């Protein structure tokens, strides 16, 4: 059966925990696997990316494979070629492919018709590859995942949803503090809060993301107003567990969702998170192509 990775819920708990441990191993030995020798991996970007593109392109190379970057203006998909046909042709040439796009339906349709694994590199509703790197960063920092508390503060968006889905699968208690109208749906698996101070009490990690995601530009001003009191600063971190860390998937907007003091301060593990994207995604590719 072809394995896909669209939301993270496709993994069993054991697979997820083994993937995180494998990612930590690969970080110690980046050229220790040639799982992609002789294989090409398609990477379709219909939205901008710095980290996801860098980490997948470099990671595929380290695994002995060849990354094929595809931009929308270079694909016939943008001129009306059917999604089904695109999935068939990609499946003829690459061993797996990922896509960053707007609607989740496009990724689901590609996966329905592809005969190779399809992975989600960010959609409007999900960012599961980011959540893998986030769990890896937690495991590196605390030596465990089960029973940790991670509080996400801000917009209940794709990043928050993937943390809720993938984090709870790994035994992490995920809390989301968001204003009314910006909260996650209760079924995502997180505990929902309106008050950030209440949500961070006892937390091991405080996580935030941009207030204006790609595709939300038209409502930027109302989002900034609604989320103004959901900034992660040192005072909020002081309310969490004594050894709590600050996380952010990046890109950051210092002064909006996070202060510069936290972003570049002693309690952040944000730059480790950015590095861990590559190691976690290499472990994912190994699993999908096993």
Partner in contact with 157, chosen from ligand NVA, ligand CP, none, beta carbon below 5 to 8 Å by kind: ligand NVA
Backbone angles phi, psi at 116, to 5 degrees: -125, 160
Look up tokens 């930027």; give the residue: 220
Q: What is the C-alpha to C-alpha distance for residues 245 and 5, in angstroms, rounded to an integer?
A: 28
* CA torsion angle 192 194 195 199 (round to 10): 10
> Shortest distance, CB of residue 129 to ligand NVA, whole angstroms?
10
State the binding partner of 50 from ligand NVA, ligand CP, none, CB within 5 to 8 A by kind.
Answer: ligand CP
Burial of 260 (0-12, 13-18, 19+ CB in 10 A): exposed
248 binds ligand CP (CB under 6 A): no
**Under rule CB under 6 A, residue 46 binds ligand CP:** no
162 interacts with ligand NVA by CB under 6 A: no
Among residues 134, 249, 256, 257, which is the contact residue for ligand CP, using CB under 6 A? 249
Length of the chain: 290
240 sits near ligand CP (criterion: CB under 6 A): no
Position 130 contacts ligand CP (CB under 6 A): yes
Interacting positions 244-263 with ligand NVA (CB under 6 A)? 249
Q: Is 128 helix (H, G, I), strand (E, B) or coil?
A: helix
* Residues 157, 161: Cα–Cα separation, whole Å: 6
Which does residue 204 touch among ligand CP, ligand NVA, none (CB within 5 to 8 A, set by kind)? none
Q: Quick one: which segment of 84-92, 149-157, 243-251, 254-262 binds ligand CP (CB under 6 A)?
A: 243-251
Residue 157 is a binding residue for ligand CP (CB under 6 A): no
Question: Considering Cα of 134, then 135, then 136, then 142, what sign does the dihedral take?
Answer: positive
Task: Please name which of 153, 4, 121 lies closest in space to residue 51, comparing C-alpha atoms.
Answer: 121
Which residue's Cβ lies closest to ligand NVA? 213
Interacting residues toward ligand NVA by CB under 6 A: 122, 157-159, 209-210, 213-214, 249
Interacting residues toward ligand CP by CB under 6 A: 49-52, 122, 130, 249-251
């Amino acid at each position: 059966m072809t394995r896909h990775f669209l939301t993270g819920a496709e993994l069993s708990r054991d697979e997820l925990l083994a993937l995180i441990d494998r990612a930590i191993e690969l970080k110690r030995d980046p050229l220790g696997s040639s799982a992609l020798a002789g294989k090409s991996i398609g990477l379709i970007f219909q939205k901008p990316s710095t980290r996801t593109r860098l980490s997948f392109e470099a990671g595929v190379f380290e695994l002995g494979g060849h990354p094929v970057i595809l931009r929308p203006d270079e694909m016939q998909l943008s001129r009306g070629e059917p999604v089904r046909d695109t999935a068939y042709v990609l499946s003829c040439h690459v061993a797996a492919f990922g896509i960053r796009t707007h609607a989740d339906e496009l990724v689901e349709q590609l996966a329905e018709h592809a005969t190779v694994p399809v992975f989600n590199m960010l959609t409007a509703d999900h960012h599961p590859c980011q959540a893998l790197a986030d769990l890896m960063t937690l495991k590196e920092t605390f030596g465990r995942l089960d029973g940790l508390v991670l509080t996400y503060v801000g917009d209940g968006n794709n990043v928050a949803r993937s943390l809720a889905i993938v984090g709870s699968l790994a035994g992490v208690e995920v809390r989301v503090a968001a204003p009314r109208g910006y909260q996650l749906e209760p079924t995502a698996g997180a505990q929902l809060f309106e008050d950030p101070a209440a949500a961070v009490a006892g937390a091991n990690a405080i996580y935030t993301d941009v207030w204006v995601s790609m595709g939300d530009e038209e409502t930027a001003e109302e989002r900034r107003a609604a989320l103004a009191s959901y900034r992660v600063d040192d005072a909020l971190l002081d309310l969490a567990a004594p050894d709590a860390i600050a996380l952010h998937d990046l890109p950051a907007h210092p002064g909006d969702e996070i202060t510069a003091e936290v972003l570049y301060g002693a309690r952040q593990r944000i730059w480790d998170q950015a590095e861990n994207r590559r190691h976690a995604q290499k472990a994912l590719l190994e699993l999908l192509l096993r």
